[in-house]
Amino acid sequence: MAPNSVRQIATVAKYELLKYLRGRRLLAIVLLTIIISAIFLIVPPAIGAQYPKDPTQFTVNVLSFLGILSILSATFFGADAIVSEYESKTGYFLFPNPIRKTAIFVGKFIASALVSVGAIALYYVIAVVSVRVIDGSIPANTGLSFAYSLVYLFAILAIAYLFSAIMRSSVYSLVLTFFTFFLILPIIDAVGSVAKFKPWFSITFANGISQYIFDNPYPTDKIFTTAAPGASGVGVQTYSLAQYYPEVRLSLIVMAVYFIVAFVLSIFLAQRREM
């Protein structure tokens, strides 16, 4: 990009970051991250229970909120980033300036990514420091887990921006983003276990690698079979349930494809959208 475009992107990102720092959403994410981490650290000794002796299991327990935190970050900082300019009519002041819409979009995305990455990093720092203090060691593959979680974060953030470029209301974009990743896709993942098809294409399923990477050896797909009395107590009926695990390389490719496609589409739609 031309130096002028880079400066424009940096300027937009700067003022977007200032907006987040002055707003309540970033504070809410930070407080929520601290509170959730504190629950995992305070509740066990408060009720007389012990922390897991295995530092890896302890880390996995603390990081169990990671998926929800990523979804909230994408929702808070991406779902209304574009549509709000049209809904609140602030675009009338922003778009007439001698700055490309692409620079505005990229600057906004960089700001959203920075604050979201900061929230995820804070969560990992709390988890790593806690495990280090309590168990005296840091589990292997913690760095890989953090890297995989960032790939997922960027992918769903790009999708959130795509929703924001399509929707006409901030509320609709926020609701669609949250429920897509928190409810709709997880339901598809769960149906896959019952119907015995592997939802490798689901981005929420692919995100499982950030947790399963701690397992040694890495888990493989399993089919569980149980027997129960048949109808009216006659005979025996067999039921089976599949437990699928995302493959690391395929999951990274899936999340990268989601990011690229959503990012390019959202830029294209944002450029063509009129006030």
Q: What is the mean pLDDT of residues 202-225?
A: 92
For residue 114, the model assigns a pLDDT of 96
| pLDDT-above-70 percentage for the chain | 91
For residue 3, the model assigns a pLDDT of 54
Count of domains observed in the chain = 1
For residue 101, the model assigns a pLDDT of 81
Task: Name 65's Cβ contacts closer than 8 Å, sequence gap at least 6.
Answer: 36, 123
- Please write the tens of the pLDDT for every residue from 63-82: 989 999 999 999 999 998 88
- Structural domain that includes position 260: 3-272
Whole-number Cα distances in Å, 64 to 124, 126, 208, 210: 11, 13, 11, 10
Least confident segment among 26-35, 102-111, 232-241? 232-241
What's the predicted TM-score (pTM) here?
0.91
Cα separation, 110 vs 27, whole angstroms: 19
Q: What is the mean pLDDT of residues 166-189?
A: 94
For residue 7, the model assigns a pLDDT of 87
Cα separation, 150 vs 153, whole angstroms: 5
DSSP code of 184?
I
- Please write the tens of the pLDDT for every residue from 89-101: 665 556 666 678 8
Q: What is the mean pLDDT of residues 98-111?
A: 87
Give the DSSP letter string of 51-114: --SSHHHHHHHHGGGHHHHHHHHHHHHHTTTTHHHHHSSTHHHHTTSSS-HHHHHHHHHHHHHH
Burial class (CB in 10 A: 0-12, 13-18, 19+), 47: exposed
User: Which residue blocks in the chain are alpha helix, DSSP H?
Assistant: 3-22, 25-46, 55-62, 66-78, 83-87, 91-94, 101-135, 142-166, 170-179, 185-195, 203-206, 209-212, 248-272
Q: Are strands 222-229 and 236-243 parallel, antiparallel or unpaired?
A: antiparallel
| pLDDT-above-90 percentage for the chain | 55
The yes-or-no verdict on residue 235 having pLDDT over 70 is: no
Average pLDDT, the chain: 88
Whole-number Cα distances in Å, 201 to 204, 241, 253, 258: 9, 20, 10, 10
**Which two tokens mark 34?**
């601290």
